[in-house]
Amino acid sequence: MLLTDIDERKRAETLLAGEKRLLEMVASGSPLPTFLEALCRLVEDNAANCHCSVYLIDEKDEVFQSYAAPSLPSSYSDAIMGLPARPDVGPCGVASRLKTQVIVADVDTDRR
């Protein structure tokens, strides 16, 4: 029980330090791509076996624009770039339309 409490406390301290770094980046006016990459890295560092990405949507054309996916292969991001932001276009399309987090165990086998 004690080891679990210590692990959880360390995890909470690490997350808090990461959040502080992100707030400092905002306050200092860091460029958006730099901030979003740091955000993705914070998520990945605190969630085992996780890849995080952030894609912006061009409001005019309603298509995905790649923005931050530091640990995903560029071929993955390149494949999403320019796709329509619709629920039938993969987990990212679902997330964009439902405005909610979508977690997929394996993108390659996900039916969307």
| The three-state (H, E, C) secondary structure of the chain, written as one string | CHHHHHHHHHHHHHHHHHHHHHHHHHHCCCCHHHHHHHHHHHHHHHCCCCCCCEEEEECCCCEEEEEECCCCCHHHHHHHCCCECCCCCHHHHHHHHHCCCCCCCCCCCCCC
Return the pLDDT at 2. Answer: 57
Q: Give CA angle at 47 (101, 38), nearest 5°.
A: 80
Residue with the bigger pLDDT between 8 and 16: it is 16
pTM of the shown model? 0.78
Each residue's pLDDT tens digit, 18-42: 999 999 999 999 999 999 999 999 9
Q: What pLDDT does 109 receive?
A: 76
- CA pair distance 24, 20, nearest whole angstrom: 6
Query: Hunting for tokens 């770039």 — which residue is that?
Result: 81
- At 49-102, the pLDDT tens digits run 888 889 899 888 899 987 899 998 888 888 888 999 988 888 888 888 888 888
pLDDT at 112 over 80: no
